[in-house]
Amino acid sequence: MTEVKKDLRYIRTRKSIMDAFMKISEKKDFKDITVKDITTEAMINRATFYYHFVDKYDLLEKVLSEVFLINLNDEIIKDYVLNEEVIVNLFLAITSFNSSLSSRCHNGYEETIARIIKEQLEIIFYKMLQRQSEGEERDRIASVMLSWGIYGAAIAWNKNSELPPEEYIKLVIPHLSSGFYKEPNKKD
């Protein structure tokens, strides 16, 4: 389907646009970013932007869903299973998007961002859980809870914490690895 372009020019330009967008996102709120900003940073013509994306919202969707699967697929999903390192890295990936996250949600686009991120997280968690699977439906639910949980933690970190994100998320790792509470009466 959707015709995967493999012309090097296309790939490089697409990457330039996405990199530029992410760089600008670190300083500017999403709603204040113009297509001109992006094309200037990416050193491409404005018309070329529209050759690749419908508009900046389209770009946002694709950046969010691809950056996760690119940055993380390669080094993490391939042979890793769910563990501390994975969770920390995912958390860092989310918080690095603080630009879009931290802004007031008065234009209603934050929900879309949140939705996309959580969808991607869910996909990743599900893939990883299946490697050590103990039931498909259980994995599904676990993926949902983890995606919402991690994302929520990122939001909370953004609002409150002065801790570095890495330390912040590590505080809760014990609960994720060994459970949130102790079985009251367990053999052995």
Partner DNA sequence: TCGAATATGTCGTATATACGATAAATGACT
Partner DNA sequence: AGTCATTTATCGTATATACGACATATTCGA
Nearer to its own copies, 46 or 138 (CB): 46
Residue 15 binding result from its own copies, DNA, none, given CB thresholds of 5 to 8 Å by partner type: its own copies
- The Cα 15–Cα 33 span in angstroms is 18
Core vs surface per residue 10-32: b (16+ CB within 10 A) or e: eeebbebbbebbeebbeeeebee
Contact call for residue 62 and DNA (CB under 7 A): no
> Closer to DNA at the Cβ: 48 or 89?
48
SS3 18: helix
If residue 37 lies in a helix (H) or strand (E), which one and from where to where?
helix 35-42
Q: Does 13 bind DNA (CB under 7 A)?
A: yes
Minimal distance in Å, beta carbon 8 to its own copies?
6
Tell me, residue by residue from 29 to 58, as one string, x for binding to DNA by CB under 7 A and - for no binding: -----xxx------xxxxxx-xxx-xxx--
Q: Which 31-70 positions form the footprint of its own copies (CB under 8 A)?
A: 43-45
Which DSSP letter does residue 91 get? H
Determine the straight-line distance between the first and last CA of the chain, rounded to whole angstroms.
Answer: 55
- Contact residues: its own copies, CB under 8 A: 8, 11-12, 15-16, 43-45
